[in-house]
Amino acid sequence: AQSVTQPDIHITVSEGASLELRCNYSYGATPYLFWYVQSPGQGLQLLLKYFSGDTLVQGIKGFEAEFKRSQSSFNLRKPSVHWSDAAEYFCAVGVSGSARQLTFGSGTQLTVLP
Amino acid sequence: SQTIHQWPATLVQPVGSPLSLECTVEGTSNPNLYWYRQAAGRGLQLLFYSVGIGQISSEVPQNLSASRPQDRQFILSSKKLLLSDSGFYLCAWCRDRVFDEQFFGPGTRLTVL
């Protein structure tokens, strides 16, 4: 069965600083990988996704992520964080098949200091 | 364009009372539908998914049930709520036959007292 680990429960950065959120997955085949963001009391919004091809994917709001098969990682990055980026971030791995289920990590809460 | 609705947005219920949460999707047909629960400070737990009308798969044994009476309607129910049922319930859909992202609804905050 697939699994996702987000080792950082909470990260604090200053506005304008760079950001990297870690995600490690376990899956026997080539994974479908996603990063979602959730503001308090809201649903989840997709930031970016990786299915195949270029291992560096660009997303919305200036985010990017790099798929590294050798490290089973899909880390999310942003070169300069804005105060509005404060939210919870979830990494997810998708399973092919009729149900197309997603398995989510436990999330990383991002705090941005002024 | 597609939209997903959840109703109600907030709910406070006593222990032992019944539950019915509704999710509807507009602008697509034959979607896969999903119910997740998010407990405070934790990730998303998949509860149920459905690939078609009347087809429900349960991921976690519990006192909740799900039904899909129409193509774009997904209902989460309980006959008797437990304190541990409190949480944030999210409905999601994705397109049939292609692997793509799941689109999430705004969620329902359930508090069981």
A8 interfaces chain B, CB cutoff of 8 Å: no
pLDDT at A89: 97
DSSP string, B20-61: EEEEEEES-SS-EEEEEEE-TTS-EEEEEEEEETTEEEESS-
Judge whether residue A98 has pLDDT over 60: no
Work out the mean pLDDT of chain A and round it to a whole number.
Answer: 92
The predicted-structure confidence for A60-76, as pLDDT tens digits, reads as follows: 999 999 999 999 999 99
State in Å, rounded, how far the first CA of chain A is from the last one.
41
User: Can you read off the two tokens belonging to residue B19?
Assistant: 């539950």
Nearest to B99 among A46, A96, A103 (CB): A96
A13 interfaces chain B, CB cutoff of 8 Å: no
Give dist(CA A57, CA A54) in Å, integer: 7
Report chain B residues touching chain A, CB-CB < 8 A.
Answer: 32, 34, 42-44, 46, 49, 51, 57, 88, 90, 92, 94, 99-107, 109
Place B100 in a pLDDT band, splitting at 50, 70 and 90.
Answer: confident
| B74 burial type by CB count under 10 A (0-12 exposed, 13-18 middle, 19+ buried) | buried
Give dist(CA B85, CA B37) in Å, integer: 9
Judge whether residue A104 has pLDDT over 70: yes
Answer yes or no: do B99 and A101 touch at CB < 8 A. Answer: no
The predicted-structure confidence for B49-82, as pLDDT tens digits, reads as follows: 999 999 999 888 678 999 999 999 999 999 999 9
Do residues B112 and B56 touch, judged by C-beta distance below 8 A? no
